[in-house]
């Protein structure tokens, strides 16, 4: 596990808030915004949910006091959506109020498909109280075109990703070509109908298409990429005048996130095995 932990640091800031603040400041120094997430998911007890609420309130206060430029992104299942969506919403309201007081954006991560309806419902309730709320959508889900239209009509910000969760073929595209076609179609929608959205991809083809669309539809948007992935490209985009946010996760519950990153990028398994051999 020590070797796995060492390798996971490519994508995870560390286990403490201090680690996250340090990496966020480093991102800011490189011209990137920080998009900070405290890792944790699938809570079915109220105690860890309430601990998560306190952690995010402290995180927002620390980001403000330390002069960190960026936002936080929260997961509905770590706020109790598996207990009850109304309860999850009630636990998120203090985060929304703190975010609003600081003039920042509150982002909702999207998780596996069985929570999509509840996540959108919560996002719409939050938007009723604050207009700077963003929701992540996954291009691999077949329903996303309808969800995107719905959220754009509600004036939500959207962060478009390909999707890292394993889903069944009846609800999700499974091949790379299908997912890419869907992602490109959703990009067209965002650039023609949206604003203040995030193009969250490390795929050069998606980024090139976004840059081309931006020339035709000059609307405010940003790129979003994971910590530890395509760092030179992030700097290149910043130097070209584009906003780039770096997704910075932290916390002791890093293993599920790390596992998804390996599954999403299988060649990283080879890198990890080499680290085992080399020590």
Positions annotated as catalytic residues are 109, 159
Measure the CA angle with vertex 213, ends 106 and 184; round to 5°.
75
The DSSP H or E segment spanning 197 is: strand 197-200
Strand partners, 30: none
CA distance 258 to 15: 13
In 3-state terms, what secondary structure has residue 138? strand
Q: Is 138 exposed, middle or buried (0-12, 13-18, 19+ CB in 10 A)?
A: buried
Question: What is the DSSP secondary-structure string of 18-76?
Answer: HHHHHHHHHHHHTTPEEEEEE------SHHHHHHHHHHHHHHHHHHHHTT--EEEEE-G
In 3-state terms, what secondary structure has residue 42? coil
């Amino acid at each position: 596990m020590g070797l796995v932990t060492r390798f996971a640091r490519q994508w995870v800031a560390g286990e403490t808030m201090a680690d996250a603040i340090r990496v966020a400041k480093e991102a800011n120094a490189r011209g990137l915004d920080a998009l900070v997430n405290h890792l944790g998911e699938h809570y079915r007890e109220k105690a860890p949910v309430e601990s998560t609420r306190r952690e995010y309130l402290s995180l927002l206060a620390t980001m403000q006091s330390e002069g960190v430029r960026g936002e936080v992104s929260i997961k509905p299942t770590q706020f109790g959506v598996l207990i009850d969506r109304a309860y999850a919403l009630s636990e998120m309201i203090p985060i929304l109020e703190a975010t609003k007081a600081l003039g920042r954006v509150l982002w909702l991560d999207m998780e596996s498909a069985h929570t999509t309806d509840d996540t959108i419902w919560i996002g719409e309730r939050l938007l009723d109280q604050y207009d700077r709320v963003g929701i992540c959508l996954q291009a691999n889900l077949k329903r996303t075109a309808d969800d995107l239209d719905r959220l754009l009509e509600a004036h939500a910000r959207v962060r478009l990703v390909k999707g890292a969760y394993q889903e069944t073929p009846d609800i999700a595209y499974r091949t790379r070509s299908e997912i890419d076609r869907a992602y490109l179609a959703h990009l067209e929608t965002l650039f023609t109908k949206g604003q203040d959205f995030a193009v969250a991809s490390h795929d050069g083809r998606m980024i090139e298409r976004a840059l081309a669309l931006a020339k035709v539809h000059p609307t405010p948007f940003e790129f979003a990429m994971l910590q530890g992935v395509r760092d030179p490209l992030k700097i290149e985009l910043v130097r070209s005048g584009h906003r780039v946010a770096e997704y910075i996760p932290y916390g002791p519950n890093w293993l599920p996130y790390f596992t998804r990153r390996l599954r999403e990028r299988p060649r990283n398994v080879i890198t990890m095995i080499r680290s085992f051999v080399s020590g």
